[in-house]
Chain A
Amino acid sequence: MIAASFEYDAPSTLEEAIGLLQQHGEDAKILSGGHSLIPMMKLRLASPERVIDINGIPGLSYIREEGGVLKIGAVTRESELEHSELLKKKFPIFADVTKLIADPQVRNMGTIGGNLAHGDAANDHPAAMLALRATVIATGPGGKRSIPIDEFFLGFYTTALEQTEILTEIQIPVPSKGTGSAYHKLERKVGDYATAGTAVQLTINDKGICTTIGIGLTNVNPIPLRATRSEQALLNKPLTDENIAAAAQMASEDCNPSADLRGDVEYKRAMVAVLVKRMIKKAIERAK
C-alpha cells in the first residue's frame, strides 16, 4: 500500500523532462496517468528513485484530424477518448476499447500514451493500434522519431522507446469510406485484463471484397500480436462466413497464450477464434 521513497520532478516543458531522463537514466520513470506505475510502486514491485511527472507539460493532450491523419496526444485521458465525438464517428473502435479499460475513475487518469509505453500485452490499446496501423511518435534529445506500431512492441514490458525518449503522439491514418472497426475482450468480470481480446479494422467494397484489414490480439502472446496470416487470408477476398472462419482459426493457431487463472491454452485459443469471427462481423456491419 505504501511505496518506497523517491524524488519527484514536475517539469513544465518537454525539453526539461527529456533533460531529466538524460540526467537520471535507468533510475527515473515517467508518470503519465500513473495507474500502471503507482499500483506497482505501492506493492513495491517497482521502486524507481525518481518519478518525472509529465502531466504539467502543456500541449500533450489532444484529439484532432490533420491532413487525413488522426493525431492523439500521448497524455490524452482514456475518458476523453471514450467520449470524443470525433472518434465515435470515424473510429468506433476507440469507444469499444476504452470502455473496457479498468473502470471510470481509472479512465479519468489513465492515458493512451502510458497504456502503450507500458509495453504490456495485457493492455487493450496495443491490439487496436495494430489493427489501425498506427505510428508512435517519440520525442527525445535528438527530436521526434516515428515508430511504426509493428516495430514498437519488443518484449515483456519492453518497447522501442529509448531510455531518454517520451512517447508524445499517436498517429492513425484516417480510413476511407466503407471502413469499420471493432474491439472486444472477454473478461472474468468488468475491469479485468483480457482473457482474450481482438481488434479489427477492415474496409469492404461494394462487391463484398475486403480491401484493407488489420487484426490485433490482446493478452494471448508475450507481446501484442498482429494476426498476420489471418489478415493475408482475407485481404482482397470476399468476406464469406467460410473465409472468416478460416481466418479465425489461423489466429487461434498463431497466438501463444499462457495458461493462468483465466483459463488454459486450449480455451484461450478457442476464444481468440470466436472473437476474431465476431469482431470481423461487427466491423463489417459498421462499415456500412
Chain B
Amino acid sequence: MAESIILQERQYRHFRVTPRTPVIGGWIEDFHLGDLNDEAAVDLREALWHYGVLFARKQHLSFDAMKAVAWAFGDQLETHSYAPTMADQGHPEVVIIRKLQSEKAKTTTDIWHHDVTSRKHPNIMSILQADQVPFGADTMWSSMTSAYARLPDALKQLFLNIEIDHDTLYLMLRHDFGDASMSPDKIAALGEAHTHPAVIAHHATGKPCLFVGNGYVKRVHGYTAELSELILKIANEMPKIPELQVRHQWEAGDVAIWDNFATCHYGVSADIGDQLRLLHRVASWSDRVTPTAYRPDGDA
C-alpha cells in the first residue's frame, strides 16, 4: 500500500524547504512570500502538497500579499459564514482571529479539525499570519495522509466504505460554541451541511487522506448514533498520534500555509492573561475541487 515518504530538504527555483519532522511540515527558507511570481507559485503548490504545511518567518505580509498566496491555490477566496473579517478595510476575505483571554470566549480551535468541511467545496488551503502572539498559544498540524497509511487494513476497509455527514450546526452543538451573535438558530439558517467520503483522493496528488476531523462532524452517513460515535472515535484518535504531528510556536510575522485536505490542525489554548492574540487568515477554494472518494488500485 502507501509507502512512507521521509521528508528531505528540497531546493526549488526561488526558495528552499527544510523539513521540520520526517512526516509533516517544512520551513520555507530564503524567500519573501510577497515576491510570489508565477514560477514561485507553481513551486509553492508542489511544496505544499509535499510537506502538508509550510512555515516562513519574518514575512509581515500585506493583506494583498496574503490574498495573492491564496489565489495561487484556488480560484475563489473564502468569505467566512460567521467569523469577523477586515471587510471595513476593503478585505472581506481576511478573517480576523482575535482573542482576549479576559473575554472568556469559547474557542473551537482546540479540537483536531479541517476547516469548513460542511461545505460542498471546503477550503483547499489557508494562509495564517501572526500579528500579536502571546507565548503558549501554539498551533499544531497532523498529517491525514499518514493517518490513512497507518490504519490497519481492516480499518482502511471500514473508512473506505463510509461517508461522513458534516454540518456547521454540529460545530456548535458538539463543542458548545457560539454567543448571542452566533446562535444555533442563525447557524442552522445558513444550511451549511454536506456529506463527504471518509477517505478522499487528494485533488492534486491522488493520495488517500483520512477526511473526518472533529469539527463539523455530525454522523457517519446512514449509521445509528451509537455506531457512528464509535467509528468517529476511531477516526479522532488518529490525529493525536505524535508521529503525524508538527507543533509551531508563533512569532509575530510568521506565516503558516496548510493543505486543508491532507492535514488537520489544532489551536492550543493557553492562559495568556490579558494579552491580545491576533492573527489573520485567508483561505481559497474552487468549485472544481470537491472531496472525492479514494479508490485503491484493483478495487475498480
* A in complex with B: no
